[in-house]
């Protein structure tokens, strides 16, 4: 297990999260794509995981509706996977959401994103739904986790 520093990225640090995104996802996106996605969203939380000074992962969420936080997007650099970095990002996001009064977190992934399915089940999410995503021609798995007893 690697001990990461988990930091909250403000607007100045958002480009670091975007750089991480672009190193792992296609098509590449500009910072403006993220800013556009955040428009009208309440409680946007962007987290960056660093090992030493090196950014190795990001985790982005926002309010979906009152009481429910939504984990939108996140990834960890391939060379440091399976060292507990996503678990630390998820725990930080969950603690933040709980502190801000949310009762549930939801996230989604495509059926072919098996690493994330394993991860989500491991960190305590329930599978609450599945729907066909015609954009990606794949099933989308919907996960939720209760934050309060
Ligand atoms: C999914 C992802 C974020 C996991 O990040 P990570 O830092 O490697 O995850 P962790 O090390 O914190 O894993 C915690 C636990 O989740 C499970 N897990 C994580 N990756 C797994 C894999 N590839 N296969 C099986 N189980 C896995 C394990 O139980 C793991 O604990 P263990 O290593 O002690 O067995 C990472 O693989 C990733 O970025 N994938 C590509 C992007 C992606 O799919 N994003 C999600 C859709 S937006």
pLDDT in tens, 53-64: 999 999 999 999
Query: Which residue's C-alpha comes closest to atom 9 of ligand 1?
Result: 86
| pLDDT one-digit tens code per residue, 101-126 | 999 999 999 999 999 999 999 999 99
Average pLDDT over residues 85-89: 98
For residue 110, the cross-strand partners are 140
Give domain limits for the chain.
5-105
φ, ψ of residue 3 to 5 degrees: the values are -85, 110
- Expressed in angstroms and rounded, the spacing between residue 12 Cα and the centre of ligand 1 is 28
Residue 56 Cβ contacting ligand 1 at under 6 Å:
no
Residue 118 Cβ contacting ligand 1 at under 6 Å:
yes
- Substitution candidate for ligand 1 out of 82, 90, 94, 123 with most atoms within 8 A of CB: 82
Above 90 in pLDDT, residue 3?
yes
According to CATH, the superfamily of the domain at 5-105 is: Gcn5-related N-acetyltransferase (GNAT) (3.40.630.30)
Instruction: Give me the percent of the chain exceeding a pLDDT of 90.
Output: 99
Classify 99 as helix, strand or coil. Answer: helix
Contact 72, 62 (CB under 8 A): yes
pLDDT at 149: 78
- Substitution candidate for ligand 1 out of 78, 81, 111 with most atoms within 8 A of CB: 81
Q: What confidence category does residue 10 fall into, taking pLDDT thresholds of 50, 70 and 90? A: very high
């Amino acid at each position: 297990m690697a001990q990461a520093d988990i930091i909250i990225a403000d607007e100045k640090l958002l480009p670091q999260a975007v750089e991480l995104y672009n190193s792992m996802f296609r098509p590449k996106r500009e910072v403006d794509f993220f800013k556009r996605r955040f428009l009208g969203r309440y409680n946007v939380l962007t987290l960056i995981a660093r090992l030493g000074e090196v950014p190795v992962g990001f985790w982005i969420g926002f309010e979906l509706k009152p009481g429910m936080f939504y984990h939108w997007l996140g990834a960890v650099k391939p060379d440091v996977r399976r060292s507990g970095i996503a678990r630390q990002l998820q725990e930080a996001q969950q603690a933040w959401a709980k502190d801000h009064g949310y009762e549930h977190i939801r996230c989604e992934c495509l059926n072919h994103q098996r690493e994330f399915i394993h991860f989500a089940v491991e960190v305590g999410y329930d599978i609450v739904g599945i729907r066909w995503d015609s954009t990606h021609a794949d099933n989308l798995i919907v996960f939720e986790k209760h934050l309060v007893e």
